[in-house]
Amino acid sequence: MPRPESMPVRWGVSVVWQTLEHAKAEASGCTRCRLSGSRTQVVWMDGNPESDLMFIGEAPGFHEDRLGKPFVGAAGKLLDGLLEYIGLDRSGCVICNVVKCRPPSNRNPEPDEIASCTPYLKAQIEFIKPTVIVTLGNFATRFLLERQLSITRVRGQIFRAFGAKVIPTLHPAAALHSGGVGSPQFALIRSDFDLINRELAKARPVPAPAPAPAAAGPVAPAPDAGPLVEQGSLF
């Protein structure tokens, strides 16, 4: 297998929209697959499209389908806590899913459903241009890197795709199912967030040094006050 940091990734789909908002507008009324008939609404993304960090999960769940935002259930709260751990909140990242509509009963997305949503995800990546992409769990990792990888083997490594560094980590739900913040899985995710934070720091521009203070010029002589007059001579 190629080294993770040099693994090539190429998607054959084309982005046909002129802006991210155009893609969002079409997605909001999308009927490309059967999921349009069972969803409450399309779950596009959450966060700040000007940020350098993007999280990609699998698909919306029950709460996401109702509220129209990704990761708003228990796993989302855990993700928010991990963001806070590295000094961020949702305004400092983008959160989205491979599939934009909830599959019935949270089943796995079907291949044609995935194919229908792929142009939307590619548009999100191309227009936002994140520096770091974090794939959450097996599904998003395998989809983005186009390989049948095991998340437990590749988590915490750095791959390169779409002009970004891709860091796979466990899905927050894996930590919830294993005991929450006290579980070994949560410790692994938090370790991966340390790596995410370091990679983001590398991408941030280094502030220019402050200009040195101007050198002091020669001290001008005091103006001539004339001859001193003794007090007694005034009377």
Average pLDDT over the chain, rounded to an integer: 87
Provide the 3-class DSSP secondary structure of residue 161. Answer: strand
More reliable by pLDDT, 34 or 213: 34
Decide: pTM greater than 0.85.
no
The secondary structure element, H or E, covering residue 97 is strand 94-97
pLDDT reported for residue 74:
95
Structure confidence at residue 234 (pLDDT)? 28
Domain ranges of the chain: 4-8+17-204
pLDDT classification of 227: cutoffs 50, 70, 90:
very low
pLDDT digits (tens, 9 = 90+) for 43-100: 999 999 999 999 999 999 999 999 999 999 999 999 999 999 999 999 999 999 999 9
What's residue 176's pLDDT?
94
pLDDT given at position 216: 58
The reported pLDDT for the residue numbered 205 is 72
Q: Which CATH class is domain 4-8+17-204?
A: alpha beta
8 A C-beta contact, residue 97 and residue 70: yes
pLDDT tier at 137, thresholds 50, 70, 90 = very high
Nearest to 4 by CA among 97, 135, 119, 125: 135
- Range from 4-13, 66-75, 170-179, 209-218 carrying the lowest mean pLDDT: 4-13
In three-state secondary structure terms, 108 is coil
What is the Cα–Cα distance from 130 to 164, expressed in whole angstroms? 6
CA distance 100 to 11: 18
Q: Report which secondary-structure segment, H or E, holds 143.
A: helix 137-145
* More confidently predicted of 20 and 224: 20
The answer to whether residue 121 scores a pLDDT higher than 80 is yes
Strand-strand pairing, 164-169 and 94-97: unpaired
How high is the pLDDT of residue 231? Answer: 35
Using DSSP, state whether 154 is helix, strand or coil: helix
